[in-house]
Amino acid sequence: MQKVASLPLPSADALDASAALSTCIGDAIDAAGGWIGFDRYMALALYAPRLGYYSGGAAKFGRDVRDGSDFITAPELTPFFARTLARQFAPLMGMDLPRVMEFGAGTGRLAADLLLALDDEGALPDTYQIVELSGELRQRQQETLAARAPHLADRVQWLDELPVRFEGVIVGNEVLDAMPVRLFARHGGRWHERGVAHRIVGSAGPHAFTFEDRTLPDAAVPEAVRAMPGDHDVVTETHAEAEGFARAVGAMLARGAAFFIDYGFPAAEYYHPQRAGGTLMCHYRHHSHTDPFLYPGLQDITAHVNFSGIAHAAVDAGLAVAGFASQARFLMNAGITELLMELDPSDAGAFLPQANAVQKLLSEAEMGELFKVIAFTHDLDAALPLAGFARGDRSHAL
């Protein structure tokens, strides 16, 4: 665990907001009898009204610690990410699917750059819908669109909830990893659910909360967890909320395609016996660490995605898996290197920053292998060519 002293200190106002959220979480623990599941803690830490990380006013997305942000995403790195997605989406737009819906729109950078790129492709959607519950993020998205694509901003609509029916293309970049997870720990050969309780006053440590494990009967242990080989000590997660989200998308998508980009693994890798520490991770001021109780509401809390669980839930809801590939393979298949070569390599000031950003998206040591792209379709031709999965499709691993 990284020491608090090695991380940038929040402002006094931010600390006050974190303290208020800690009180809210503490009240929830008291109301539940002294213990809540980690999924409940994570939901409050990220989404409690006006206080949670995503519902409050933290900067979140940005390039480095100087802008007050905590992490950077692919759309913030380079417009070539959106331009490559547009090359994949444009043929779908031409199949009488003139709408796009985005989840996890962040600053609005992907929305703005996608609209610009689709316009260039001659495939501009009639409407671009963003599902966003955070008022602070919605305002940032509006500002980004007004600055980067003012002539297209009137095509964007914000939704507070999913529509009953949608026809078009759905995209979600780094949205699944931010959905609350349950934690499970095996020690002494027995499975426990790892939850959150108050830290005992006077005990070591700076935080108000601590992990507390509760033994589970075998019948209450999720099948994916129970199937982990061996009897050695492990910690892992399950993703009921993300899988429920996949089912909701499946119920909503009457015709079209859905693309989700995130970091994670198929189940065989996710629940591999050597992954003994789980995948829970926190991000604060561009530092990664494993302490979810540090500054509640001021840091991101994530877990890698079990793409097999997402795929099975979507298929149960009537969708078909159209492809599953590493981000690097998907982007290269869809033409990112060809797009980059439209820049003049002799113009180092323009070419090198974009080339370096694209390399970060593609490199196995960066985002290229850890990040995956999964796509689902409904009521589309089964032979529909999706260029992003033309080579290196790993759907068989799901």
Question: What residue ranges define each of the domains in the chain, with the CATH number in brackets?
Answer: 11-63+182-231 (no CATH), 74-179+239-277+300-397 (3.40.50.12710)
Mean pLDDT of 45-60: 81
Counts of helices then strands in the chain (DSSP H, E): 13, 16
Rounded CA-CA distance 156/377 in Å is 23
3-state secondary structure of 314: helix
Identify the DSSP state of 387.
G
Rounded CA-CA distance 251/235 in Å is 32
What is the predicted pLDDT for the residue at 71?
54
Rounded CA-CA distance 240/309 in Å is 9
Confidence grade of residue 1 (pLDDT, cut at 50, 70, 90): very low
The per-residue pLDDT of the chain, averaged, comes to 91
pLDDT at 10 over 70: yes
Q: Which residues pair with 213 in a beta bridge?
A: 194
Q: What is the pLDDT of residues 319-375, one digit of tens each?
A: 999 999 999 999 999 999 999 999 999 999 999 999 999 999 999 999 999 999 999
Which is higher by pLDDT, 296 or 385? 296
First to last CA, the chain: 32
For residue 63, what are the CA distances in angstroms to 219, 233, 357?
46, 37, 12
pLDDT at 190 over 60: yes
Rounded CA-CA distance 104/337 in Å is 26
Taking alpha carbons only, the member of 146, 217, 174, 107 closest to residue 367 is 174
What is the predicted pLDDT for the residue at 144?
96
What is the predicted pLDDT for the residue at 2?
43
Are 170 and 256 in contact by the 8 Å Cβ rule? The answer is yes
Rounded CA-CA distance 302/176 in Å is 9
Structure-block tokens of residue 398: 């799901």
Structure-block tokens of residue 252: 């909503």
What is the predicted pLDDT for the residue at 62?
47
Rounded CA-CA distance 342/152 in Å is 24
What is the predicted pLDDT for the residue at 284?
86
Give the global pTM: 0.93
Structure-block tokens of residue 78: 């380079």
pLDDT at 283 over 50: yes
Which is higher by pLDDT, 286 or 354? 354
Q: What is the pLDDT of residues 230-282, one digit of tens each?
A: 889 999 999 999 999 999 999 999 999 999 999 999 999 999 999 999 999 99
Identify the DSSP state of 131.
E
What is the predicted pLDDT for the residue at 57?
61
Confidence grade of residue 4 (pLDDT, cut at 50, 70, 90): low
For residue 248, the surrounding DSSP H or E stretch is helix 240-252
What is the predicted pLDDT for the residue at 383?
63
pLDDT at 32 over 90: yes
**Secondary structure (H, E, C), 62-114:** CCCHHHCCCECCHHHHCHHHHHHHHHHHHHHHCCCCCEEEEECCCCCHHHHHH
What is the predicted pLDDT for the residue at 55?
84
Amino acid (1-letter code) at residue 41: Y
% residues pLDDT > 90 (the chain): 80
What is the predicted pLDDT for the residue at 56?
72
